[in-house]
Chain A
Amino acid sequence: MAEKNKLSIICMSGDFDKAIAVFTLASGAAAVNYEVNLFFTFWGLNTIKKKRGRDFIGKGWLARCFNFLLGGRNKLPLSRLNFAGASPVLMTGLMKARNVATLPELFQASIDLGANFYACEMAMVVLGLTQDDLIPEVKKVLGVASFLEMSKGGQTLFI
């Protein structure tokens, strides 16, 4: 039997527009039967926090303040012209009006089509997060060696 095509994405950015790129690629690839592995590290972890807004989560007061300021999936800033969070709201409205899938739709489609979610162990230690702070779809907390092993033989992107 032929081996399945594979796409692995290192999701480093916590920007709204880059998260759209991640989940557009992930859902598109999963729809055409690729194995999709998403490895969330540093700011990318904001995308997969259980708490979507701003919340004091994590271990230690500094980590808790950091995580409050970073926020979750509903608080991702646009990488340019964010205008204190107004632009992602306007952008989402524009996407709906133009019948383009929004970030929550792309995110859910990636889950429904079986994309694999992984979190970076080192970044979680720095940000004081545990797997319990992340969405239940996160399969495992991994290190670099495990991710490299997993992504071997496929295409890997860094976003």
Chain B
Amino acid sequence: MTFVKTKLQLSKMAPGDILEILLTAGEPLDNVPRSIVEHGFQVLEVTPVKDNIYKVVVKS
């Protein structure tokens, strides 16, 4: 569902816009950035925010 929400948000954004997503470690962090790249978007940054939570910066 995290990727579903990400995809819906990215579809509303203009090319070049930046989206920040907070993901928990494990399945979401393993799969969402990979799916984002597979769908032609760019992952600019993945940084830990706090225990188990990561910020992923995406360029649409």
Instruction: List chain A positions with a Cβ less than 8 A from chain B.
Output: 24, 27-28, 30-33, 100-101, 106, 109, 112-113
B window 1-20: CB within 8 A of A: 1, 3-5, 7-8
> Of A24, A27, A32, which is within 8 A of B35 by CB?
A32
A-B contact count (CB 8 A): 30
B50 interface contact, C-beta 8 A: no
B window 25-57: CB within 8 A of A: 35, 38-39
A27 to B11, CA, bound (A): 14
> Of A24, A32, A112, which is within 8 A of B8 by CB?
A112
**Nearest Cβ distance between residue A130 and chain B, in whole angstroms?**
31
Pair B3/A109 contact, Cβ less than 8 Å: no
User: What would 18 more interface pairs be, CB under 8 Å, given A28-B3, A113-B7?
Assistant: A24-B1, A27-B4, A28-B1, A30-B4, A31-B4, A31-B7, A31-B8, A31-B35, A32-B3, A32-B35, A32-B38, A32-B39, A101-B4, A101-B5, A106-B1, A109-B1, A109-B5, A113-B8
